[in-house]
Structure 1
Amino acid sequence: MIAGFPSLDTRAVDAVEEMDRPDADRQRLDRTYAQFWLVNAVVSGWRRNYVRYLRPVFAQSGGGTLLDIGSGGGDVPRSIARWARRDGLALEVTAIDPDPRAHAFASALPALPGLTFRQAYSHELAAEGRSYDVVISNHMLHHLAPAELQALLADSEQLARRLCLHSDIERSRWAYALFAVGTLPFFPGSFIRADGLTSIRRSFTAAELAAVTPPGWQGLQQWPWQNLLVSAPSSREEDQRAG
């Protein structure tokens, strides 16, 4: 263990992020949503995910539909909508979050063609019979209890026609150390630093995530310290036939 840092040998499943508390300070919360874009641009790798996974799917038909589950401040779906438009793809993005505070923040931003925000859970969309070409989430898996994680993956399988891609932080001592040091002089008045460190403590290692992932999903590791869960209808059908 790095001196002065908590043990990261096991997940801190009981740790609670400040922004998840119902009584979180609204000004600090909105500032956190507003600063997410910078953190995600540096550590989340969604430009890489778009180029490697999403764009090839949408390029086959010139566009399509995408669902982002747990969209928070909305920076990831906004980026994907912009990239697709720049590439000449007719992509319709739906971004959902059940937290009314996140939905209010994201919905108040300037409208972007092809992007819609909705306050909802994934199971509500599944119950409505909705479907999308691609289903994604960013840094959400570590927030979920075991049953909630399984429910999310089941919802994703039902909602996605072509691809599911869930990206999350991978817990490691170096990730914790670098985030702690790198964010120290930045993000005043927000929950970014404290909650980011809590997120790392709550996150899965690649082996832990693989142990709770159902058949039909592939776990991948990406630099820096990212876990990806990837699934496609064709791979799920092959697993079911093999079983």
Structure 2
Amino acid sequence: MKRAFDPLEPELMDRPQPVTPELEAYLRNLVSFNRYFGSYRLVRKFLAQWLAPDRNYRVLDLCTGAGDIPRLMVDWARAAGVTLRIDAVDFHESTLELARRGSQGYPEIQLLRGDVLKWETKETYDLVICSLALHHFSDEDAVVLLRRCRHLSHRFVLVSDLERSELGALGVQLLTTFFYRLPMTQADANTSMQRAFTFGELRTLAEAAGWENFGHMRFLFCRQALWLDERTAGDIPAVAAVPDVLPCPT
């Protein structure tokens, strides 16, 4: 199954558009995908591994979309006695507007508009995270984004995404046929799986971005993650040992 990426045909969510009921429904579906199909569980595992109670951390979330990953992190941190300050960056103003509406009551989160391939800041971050976004980019830009993640963090980096496979494509097709039937969701969900990277391709991109001694593993529901941990040079046995880490058949 070859990667099908056309920079002249962006996913529907990446096209300029106003805030509409369809966009709101689409983002609700994205949040549902994240909640029920592994993204939240994956992020929580790394937060529990890396962040200690009674400590303060600066976090950067790139390509934040609906802003649900920052909200998830704050909810986890509040319960764990951890203090987070999160900058969440996205390029699309309409998406950010909806993320702002959903993030009321989360003063820990600052939502910012910017191109993640060029976005600069004087801040340095304990953790840089990018969830389910890498497949929106060409191979070349994906390398740039991975390089940016490494540059902006002085401690931890977590990049998670889909893993492209025929089994995953079939699963997405079934989900969008019977459950997530919004046309925008149907179109983008299937396109996302076609544009995702295989396990080997993602590892090659990380190496091209200059990552060394990094972790890379498959997770449930055709998810995969790359990570860097300055304390252990990418060797994190506690995460590697979790029982819900599975291969995604090609």
TM over 0.5: yes
CA shift in 2, pair 1:128/1:231, >3 Å: same
Give the whole-Å Cα distance in 2 for the aligned partners of 1:189 and 1:116: 30
The CA distance in 1 between the partners of 2:146 and 2:67, in whole Å, is 21
Match of 1:233 in 2: 230
Count residues with an aligned counterpart. Answer: 228
- 65-74 or 227-236, which deviates more: 227-236
The answer on whether the counterparts of 2:53 and 2:81 sit within 8 Å (CA) in structure 1 is no
Correspondences of 1:21-170 after superposition (within 5 Å): 21-23=15-17, 26-50=20-44, 52-59=45-52, 62-109=55-102, 110-122=104-116, 125=119, 127-170=120-163
**Percent of aligned positions with the same letter in both sequences?**
26
Alpha carbons 1:135, 1:160 under 8 Å: kept: yes
Separation in 2, partners of 1:25, 1:102: 8
Q: Deviations over 1:139-164 (max 9, x none)?
A: 11111112211221121112112110
Displacement of 1:183 in angstroms is 2.9
1:209 is aligned to 2:202? yes
Q: CA separation of 1:124/1:189 partners in 2, compared to 1, >3 Å: closer, same or farther?
A: same
RMSD of aligned C-alpha atoms? Answer: 2.4
Query: 201, 219, 222: which is aligned to 1:222?
Result: 219
Q: Which runs of 5+ in 1 are unaligned?
A: 1-8, 238-243
| Residue in structure 1 matched with residue 10 of structure 2 by the alignment | 16
TM-score computed with the length of structure 2 as normaliser: 0.82
- Per the alignment, in what secondary structure is the counterpart of residue 128 of structure 1? coil
Contact between 1:65 and 1:133, CA under 8 Å: does it hold in 2? yes
Output the TM-score relative to the length of structure 1. 0.84
Q: 1:21 to 1:113 in 2, by over 3 A?
A: closer
**Alpha carbons 2:218, 2:224 under 8 Å: kept:** yes
Q: Could you list the per-position Cα deviations for residues 78-124 of structure 1 after superposition, in whole angstroms to 9, with x for gaps in the alignment?
A: 11111111111111122110111111111122231312211123355
CA distance in 1 between counterparts of 2:117 and 2:11 reads 23
Gapped regions of structure 2 (runs ≥ 5): 235-250
Deviations 1:188-226 (A, max 9, x none): 445222211110000011011122222313321112211
Distance 1:68 1:92, change over 3 A: same
Q: CA deviation at 1:24?
A: 7.8
Number of the residue aligned with 2:244: none
- Matched residue of 1:212: which SS? helix
